[in-house]
Amino acid sequence: MISLASRAAYTFLDEPYLGLDPTAREIFYEELMTDFGAHPRTIIMSTHLIDEAAALMEEVIVLHEGEIVLQADVDDARSSAYVARGLADEVRAFAQGRDVIAQRTLGRILSATIRGQVTPGDEDKASANRISLEPVSLQDLIAALGIHTLTSALTTENR
Domain boundaries, the chain: 2-57, 77-157
Residues 13-31 have pLDDT tens digits of 999 888 899 999 999 999 9
The pLDDT of residue 97:
95
The pLDDT of residue 89:
96
The pLDDT of residue 151:
53
Question: How many CA atoms does the CB half-sphere of 38 hold within 13 Å?
Answer: 8
Confidence of residue 63 (pLDDT cuts 50, 70, 90): confident
Look at residue 5 and tell me whether its pLDDT is greater than 60: yes
Give the amino acid at 31.
E
The pLDDT of residue 145:
83
Angle subtended at Cα 115 by Cα 68 and Cα 59, rounded to the nearest 5 degrees: 45
Q: What is the mean pLDDT of the chain?
A: 88
Pick the CATH number of 77-157 from 3.90.1310, 1.10.30, 3.90.1070, 3.30.70: 3.30.70
* H or E element, residue 95: helix 88-95
Global confidence as pTM: 0.74
The pLDDT of residue 152:
52
The pLDDT of residue 155:
45
